Amino acid sequence: MELDINGQRQAIAPAWRDERLLWVLREHLGLVGSKHGCGVGQCGACTVLVDGVPARSCLLPVSAAAGRRITTVEGLASAGKGLHPVQQAWLDERVPQCGYCQAGQIVAAAALLHEHPVPSDAQIDAALAGHLCRCGTQQRVRAAVHRAAR
């Protein structure tokens, strides 16, 4: 089995083929940006993009990811072009506090901006509603999404 992760083909060893995508990313491939929060699809910390759409990697069997385009927070920045505008806006607005939820929020924000280049507050809130942040960064998240949209 091979996966398309951040634009690269990755061979998945047989021992990992019955796992959830999150564990393959973190433990097998060393892509530790996506986090394990709740493990049951509720917190959003594990969110990655599957064919450009946010998905909870803690729930997704790796077999279901085969043949699809997986993008993690590590894959948002493009070689030679620096950070993705959302990543740069996150830094400029000093969004992260503890940082645990941020990778999931960033990829979800990138997907939102791809769909809605100039989103409203309501669209931002709706897109990020499923991302729990116990530090209360929601206002800075909203500001960063608006900054990235400029």
38 binds ligand FES (CB under 6 A): yes
Query: What is the C-alpha end-to-end distance of the chain, expressed in Å?
Result: 40
Q: Measured from the CB atom, is 20 or 140 closer to ligand FES?
A: 20
Q: Which of positions 40-69 make contact with ligand FES (CB under 6 A)?
A: 41-46, 56, 58
Whether 21 contacts 60, CB under 8 Å = yes
150/147 Cα distance (integer angstroms): 5
37 binds ligand FES (CB under 6 A): yes
42/28 Cα distance (integer angstroms): 23
Sign of the torsion angle spanned by Cα atoms 90, 94, 97, 98: positive
Q: Which residue is nearest to ligand FES (CB)?
A: 58
Contact residue for ligand FES among 28, 36, 116, 146 (CB under 6 A): 36
Task: Choose the binding region for ligand FES from 34-42, 79-87, 95-103, 121-129 (rule: CB under 6 A).
Answer: 34-42
